[in-house]
Structure 1
């Protein structure tokens, strides 16, 4: 059967982390290149500009199986199967490992790991039947190492890396390709202006780590400037740059296993291997906010 070109993109509505900016930029790039794009998100109103551009938009919450089934069923009815799944929906949970309530931890994994896993399960039968398909997993530089204050979010990206590597070799014989995109920090993607913006629960902002969280917010200010970044912010990548790489991951006949976007994500893993674990730990304490 002819391969489906239908693209299912999650996390296209505005939100936090990677979901803000990158999803919309990717939807527009693929649409302009002639791909039938289904841009989805929890906030359908935020998808209005994509709908005006001619892109199909639908409600999809990766923690709501019924909404996922509805979208997959529609695309299958119109195109035979989902041809490309871009697992972009995610958010960043802020909080220390010891103080973050477990219901918040579970919600983080439901969205960033279990939801994308279930959606992937739902599209695989159609891809197998056609003998083709592509799954693009949006990871992060923080799928490679972890820092204080975002350990549970970073754990979900570590999990995504492992799931992707397992899945790649499980579906290879069916003509399905699995690609991981690892962006460096994205300009404006995680830019709190106050401790309140971190949306933490359990009184963490005024507890054991109050000074740390204030420093945490100040430190991320370097990534706030989108148009004319300075200092550390210059190493961050624009959402449009990430979207270009995702387009390559979708369109390349023989895609890379991993696409690393920006200097930090290409440099730091090599730096860690060169330093050794103790020196790397000292580097993390020197460079990143530390309690």
Structure 2
């Protein structure tokens, strides 16, 4: 019996009802390439367009054990196992380290880290049984370094990088392969238009000027059709989906797929610059308090 090719993608829709750029693009690309795709998210209304394309949609909240188990059980019943898991579910928590309530930090890690960890645990028995499987971890350029204002979000991506390296070695004996996707900033993704969009949990005015600069800085990534300035170095969701397809089809996938010029340059630059020079670069390039 051939190993399962069923693809489970998390985080294709959010509470807001909008489908995520990379999740939606990946679901469509793989579906059109003939993969049996299960696009999941917290809000099924946000997945209606994918269902109309013939993609199976499921309500899955990666902070809810029952919904995750039900999805894996259904795919296992229909295909024998989850063949490919794409851990895409995530959101970006904005806030300074000292002012963000810890309950919000817990929620950030529950979605971006513990949720994907549990989903990975749930699919592994089936993958081990068929001695085959692919797990794709959606990281970020900010899995490589951190900046002011999004430290807790960036911490989840750093954590994802670490467990991915451990997992890849632990599951190799069963023919299971793990790849990390590290995109440069994605056009239209997590881009605020006002300070109110940041959903900050504090009324403190300690960083009021900083948050205004933070929103203006991210404006470069808002324009999807004709990006300007820094936005021209960002990547599109369709490009990320293309790389995900490579990661699940390559006989020997890369450990890390770095997408776009910024993520390819910044890793080596940090090693060359050293800590002080690197921090000077971050201070000059990114908005600062």
Q: 1:226: which partner in 2?
A: 224
Matched, 1:87 2:87: yes
Q: 1:24: which partner in 2?
A: 24
Q: 1:38: which partner in 2?
A: 38
Matched, 1:286 2:284: yes
- CA shift digits 1:189-228 (9 cap, x unpaired): 0211100000110224xx2000000000011011110010
- CA shift digits 1:55-79 (9 cap, x unpaired): 0000000000000001000000000
- The count of aligned residue pairs is 287
Q: 1:211: which partner in 2?
A: 209
Q: 2:251: which partner in 1?
A: 253
Alignment partners' CA distance in 2, 1:150 and 1:120: 25
For residue 3 of structure 1, report the CA deviation from its aligned partner: 0.8
Flag the 1:142–1:15 CA change in 2: closer, same or farther, 3 A. farther
For residue 188 of structure 1, report the CA deviation from its aligned partner: 0.5
The correspondence of residues 92-131 of structure 1 with structure 2, limited to 5 A, is 92-131=92-131
Flag the 1:201–1:109 CA change in 2: closer, same or farther, 3 A. same
Q: Is the CA contact 2:15–2:42 (under 8 Å) kept in the aligned structure 1?
A: no
Alignment partners' CA distance in 2, 1:2 and 1:139: 30
For residue 251 of structure 1, report the CA deviation from its aligned partner: 1.1
Runs (4+) of structure 1 exceeding 3 A deviation are none
Secondary structure at the counterpart of residue 96 of structure 1: coil
Alignment partners' CA distance in 1, 2:5 and 2:189: 29
Matched, 1:154 2:150: no
Alignment partners' CA distance in 2, 1:130 and 1:20: 31
Alignment partners' CA distance in 2, 1:20 and 1:189: 8
- CA shift digits 1:123-157 (9 cap, x unpaired): 00000000000100000000000000000000000
Alignment partners' CA distance in 2, 1:190 and 1:286: 22
Q: Is the CA contact 2:88–2:138 (under 8 Å) kept in the aligned structure 1?
A: yes
Q: Is the CA contact 1:136–1:179 (under 8 Å) kept in the aligned structure 2?
A: yes
- CA shift digits 1:97-116 (9 cap, x unpaired): 00000000000000000000
Alignment partners' CA distance in 2, 1:13 and 1:160: 20
Alignment partners' CA distance in 2, 1:250 and 1:140: 18
Alignment partners' CA distance in 1, 2:87 and 2:135: 8
Matched, 1:4 2:4: yes
Ranges in structure 2 where 5+ consecutive residues have no aligned partner: none
Alignment partners' CA distance in 2, 1:210 and 1:94: 13
Q: 2:138: which partner in 1?
A: 138
